[in-house]
Structure 1
Amino acid sequence: MTDMKKRPTAAPKPVGHVTIADRRQFLIGSAGLLGAAAFGAGTSLGIGRARAQSRAEISFASAAFFGKETFGDLIKAFNESQDRILVKNIELPPPSSSTEVYQGLVQQLARRNGTPDVFSQDVIWIAGFAAAGWALPLDEYFPADKRSAYFTGTLNACTYGGKLTALPWFMDSGMFYYRKDVLEKHGGKVPENWADMATIAAAAQKAGDVDFGYLWQGKQAEVLVCDAVEIITSNNGAILAPDGKSSLINQKGAVEAIQFLHDTIATTKISPQDVLSWDEEPSRQPFTSGKAMFMRNWSYVYPIAQDAKASQVVDKVGVAPLPSFPGGKSSACLGGYQLGVNANSKQREAAIELLTWLSSTETQHRIALNFGLAPTRPALFQDEQIKKEQPFMASLEKVFTGATARPITPQYAKVTLALQSGISKALVSGKVQAEMDALADQINKIVA
């Protein structure tokens, strides 16, 4: 997700949480020497030097996530669970240093020497790695009957050119926060369409219950693309055509959606002008200070909202799927890290075995409990232990059901910068159709 770079000092850090915010920096940074260095530090990262010669030796590279344990502990557990494969863990920087993670993976995969054999990747890198021929197609290993155990949205994001090139691991998405206490004063029903949301938000403002009706992220940054994906998709619109070769950003569904965002500032005035310069944290702070009725944000907000040291709305916050337009469905921009196999791995079968283990029900269950990272298997949201130990996570199945990938294209780095600029111009000027026409032309030149 975009860069959730600054956690509030008074709030507890949600262990291991990754937001789309943590990832925007890969688009704007230069070479990440930390990532590259990590690949060269084999003996200091992961298992020891003593190795059983009879075991296939492979490596696993991932951004560093922390909770009650580390990913290094996961790899140790895999090594101890069988005697056929020995995995070296390559710990890359955390997702907040996404530039370094991305560049480290690119530098190593581009060498085509088979290292790392298995890797985790931000959802928005999948198409680029696949188009470069660095990611092994997984269709023969994971047929349709095995894929049905995952959320459809994550599978779509893991698919490029009609081939499964990544395997779902853990996820996050945008979601709709609301003030339960204020909503009770205004009908008590969580709005399911955008028009109702705007009406309730305006009424709460007029009554003096809140300063702001609806907070979102309009900064010219990756998070703006995420907000746009959600609202456009909820109006049956799209940014790219299904084949990824042309833009639909200037079609009715998309234009109406962006117009709605503009109108929250200029017409209904349920959003302050400041949202045009806000990413996640500036929009979160007024909400947890009790100044807003509704907000779109990521899952990291909930633990902060429940922390009395950082929040004025403890036990007053609810979470639901984002609203939609008439005839549309709720959509939540997909984030998270997914798994890939190096197309040049010299130990392909061993790599597939590790990949299968990491994405298994048992390992995703462990990750959910020990890292607080949401599983990509819907069945786990019904698990009694997860419901008990991670009650907020267990409530998010309906939100994740609407998870929608950002445009799937190997040209994503260029497309997202164009989207950020074009949508920002439309929101500032109010000339939505004209700006979307210009943006469509620009994107068509990129993806054609």
Structure 2
Amino acid sequence: MLLGSGLFLVTLGLAVSCQAGSSPITLTMALSGIESVRWQPVIAEFERQHPDIHIALVEAHESTDDLEAIYADAFEQGNATFDLVYADIIWVPRFAAAGWLLDISDRPSAEDLADFLPNDLEGGRYQDRLYRIPLRSDIGVLHYRQDLLLQANLPTPTTFDDLLTTAQTLRSQQVATWGYLWQGRSSEGLTAAFMEVLAGYGGSWINPDTLTVELDSPAALQAIQFLRRTITQGIAPERVTTYSEEETYRLFQDGEAAFLRNWPETWATVNSSESPISGTVAIAPVVHAPGQESRGCQGGWGLAIAASTPHADAAWTAVQFFTQRQIQRRFALEVGYLPSRISLYSDPAILQHYHHYPDLLSMLERSVRRPAIPQYTQASAILQRYLHAAITDRLPPEQAIQAIVQETQTLLQGDT
């Protein structure tokens, strides 16, 4: 069934066996195309265990921005299409402030909530109320070719200068075309990458409590200069400013680079049996300045309930099922998603496949979150616009920072 431009309603209809004359409750949510494929087995299991509830999926394009727009457009138009919301961690303040999400603070038990990673759980709150249960976590990490470092007798870099020096050494030895790849396209990937570098220099972007823009600092200038240096020193290609996660991981998988900033799901892909660099890639925390700490950007997805749904109890049943330990374990083993439940980072079956999970857990415990503000989408767009101008040498970093501060402060003050 076609819904609007390029959106398809997929009714799985698996294992639904209701009594004659009765109809199951249908819960609808939107997922990207690849996600909908990955979800089908667990949806089939849910419908088998809950034959009175049916899940219908609206398939969207792969872009997170497109998926956000699909939900937002429906809610803004008063369209009650969606019962469940598969929500990125950065959407919660906007969706909750607009009244689009159901307050579920009183539904989960304290015992169950205690198993979730604190930053993932906190990412589902807005003004001390809970609106989203985490399903999968995420964090920016440094992927590196451990075979190249061993051959060159070089340690894994921990600081910004270490990374630049090591990358340059490997390039001079002609064992890698590029030293370091990151996401420089004007997109949310650039925001995430910048957040990590900014935090690595001890800086911050927006204080969500005071709505103060805190970029007018030495740390912000150092962060932009570092990203620019990767290009001017030939460590990253000039075209890195057009790359998203997809382009960078493909170049890395093709053996074109020694280091890559990306999300941990990449590790499973580049180490798969089909990958030309399988077995050579390890994960480390993102680099930082001396005296500071590594803080990867917190990502993650979870499930919320649309405030407009007439089936809140059925929707909560679905949220409980899909976020439970067994389903997160299945997603981790079959797809490579990072669990949002702490207990799964010591699960023997998972550790057999992903021996680096204990290291990821320590990274997740000190991650940096993007500002939890309703105006986040607009603030990120401002950041991306001027940051991209600075890293492409179209605007001096100092001017870019001032423009970001002024426009973002105007945005935040206008909504207070």
Give yes or no for the alignment of 1:410 onto 2:374.
Answer: yes
SS at match of 1:345: coil
Report the Cα offset of residue 269 of structure 1.
Answer: 4.0
Displacement of 1:96 after TM fit?
0.8
Alignment of 1:433 onto 2:398: yes
Structure-2 change in CA distance of 1:221 and 1:102 (3 Å): closer
- Secondary structure of the residue aligned to 1:340 is strand
Query: Does the alignment pair 1:354 with 2:318?
Result: yes
Matching residue of 2:105: 139
Give the counterpart of 2:114 among 123, 135, 148: 148
2:142 is matched with 176
Residues 198-347 of structure 1: matches in 2 within 5 Å? 198-243=164-209, 245-266=211-232, 268-306=233-271, 310-311=275-276, 313-347=277-311
Distance 1:434 1:201, change over 3 A: same
Partner residue of 1:382 out of 346, 353, 371: 346
Cα distance in structure 2, aligned partners of 1:253 and 1:143? 41
Identify the residue that residue 6 of structure 1 maps to in structure 2. Answer: none
Are the structure 2 counterparts of residues 275 and 317 from structure 1 closer, same or farther at C-alpha, using a change threshold of 3 Å?
Answer: same
Residues 362-371 or 63-72, more deviating: 63-72
Contact 1:64 1:91 in 2 (8 A): no
Cα deviation code 1:174-223 (max 9, x no counterpart):
22111112212444421222222222222223333333222212222221
Residue type of the alignment partner of 1:159: R
**For each residue in 1:380-425, what CA deviation from the matched residue of structure 2 results, as whole angstroms up to 9, or x when unmatched?**
1211122234556676434434443333222222222211111112
SS in 1 for 2:147: helix
CA separation of 1:420 and 1:111: change in aligned 2, threshold 3 A? closer
Deviation of the 1:318 alpha carbon: 1.4
Query: Residues 273 and 437 from structure 1, CA distance in 2 versus in 1: closer, same or farther, beyond 3 angstroms?
Result: same
TM-score between the two structures when normalised by the length of structure 2:
0.85
* 57-66 or 434-443, which deviates more: 57-66
Inter-partner Cα distance in structure 1 for 2:278 and 2:18: 51
Q: CA deviation at 1:63?
A: 0.9
Tell me, in whole angstroms, the C-alpha distance in 1 between the residues paired with 2:35 and 2:357.
15
Counterpart CA distance in 2 for 1:79 and 1:285 is 36
Gaps of 5+ in 1: 1-30
Q: Deviations over 1:18-55 (max 9, x none)?
A: xxxxxxxxxxxxx96444x63xx77x766759468899
Distance in 2 separating the partners of 1:296 and 1:352 = 36
Matched, 1:78 2:58: no
Other structure's SS at 1:204 match: helix
2:114 counterpart letter in structure 1 = S
**1:253 to 1:53, Cα distance in 2 relative to 1, 3 A:** farther
Secondary structure at the aligned position of 1:351 is classed as helix
Residue 371 of structure 1, aligned match among 306, 331, 335: 335
Q: SS of the counterpart of 1:364? A: helix
Whichever residue aligns with residue 353 of structure 1, its letter is T
Partner amino acid, structure 1, of 2:45: A
Aligned-partner SS, 2:370: coil
Measure how far apart 1:356 and its partner are: 2.0
Assess if the C-alpha contact under 8 Å between 2:104 and 2:130 holds in 1. Answer: yes
**For 2:403, what is the secondary structure of its paired residue?**
helix
Letter of the 2:307 partner, please give it.
A
Residues 276 and 439 from structure 1, CA distance in 2 versus in 1: closer, same or farther, beyond 3 angstroms? same
Alignment root-mean-square deviation, CA: 3.3
Contact 2:265–2:336 (Cα < 8 Å) also in 1 = no
Gaps of 5+ in 2: none
TM-fit CA distance, 1:79? 4.1
2:408 corresponding residue in structure 1: 443
CA distance 1:314–1:75, shift in 2 (3 Å): closer
Structure 1 residues 326 and 64, CA gap change in structure 2 (3 angstroms): same
The one-letter amino acid of 1:257's match is: A
Change (3 A) 1:65 1:171: farther
Aligned match for 2:124, one of 158, 175, 198: 158
Which amino acid in structure 2 is aligned with residue 207 of structure 1? Q
Contact 1:246 1:444 in 2 (8 A): yes
**Contact 1:321–1:398 (8 Å) recurs in 2:** no
Cα separation, partners in 2 of 1:244 and 1:146, compared to 1, 3 Å:
farther
The TM-score with structure 1 as length reference comes to: 0.80
State the alpha-carbon separation in 1 of the partners of residues 38 and 169 from structure 2: 47
* C-alpha distance in 2 between matches for 1:437 and 1:372: 40
* Partners of 1:138 and 1:164 within 8 A in 2: yes
Q: Secondary structure at the match of 1:332?
A: coil
Give, in whole Å, the separation in 2 of the partners of 1:291 and 1:347: 50
Q: The residue matched to 2:287 in structure 1 has which SS?
A: coil
Q: State how many pairs are aligned.
A: 410
Deviations 1:140-186 (A, max 9, x none): 22465543322222223222223222110113332211111221244
- Once the two structures are superposed, residues 69-89 of structure 1 have per-residue CA deviations (whole angstroms, 9 ceiling, x without a partner) of 753443443344368xx3221
1:193: which partner in 2? Answer: 159
Give the distance between the partners of 2:104 and 2:126, measured in 1 at CA. Answer: 11
Secondary structure, in 3 states, of the residue corresponding to 2:258?
strand
Q: Partners of 2:137 and 2:210 in 1: how far apart? A: 23
CA positional deviation for 1:117: 3.1
Alignment of 1:61 with 2:29, yes or no, is yes
The separation in 2 between residues aligned to 1:156 and 1:255, in whole angstroms, is 29
When structure 1 is superposed on structure 2, of 294-303 and 169-178 the one drifting more is 294-303
Identity in percent: 24
Does the 8 Å CA contact 1:67/1:371 hold for their aligned counterparts?
no
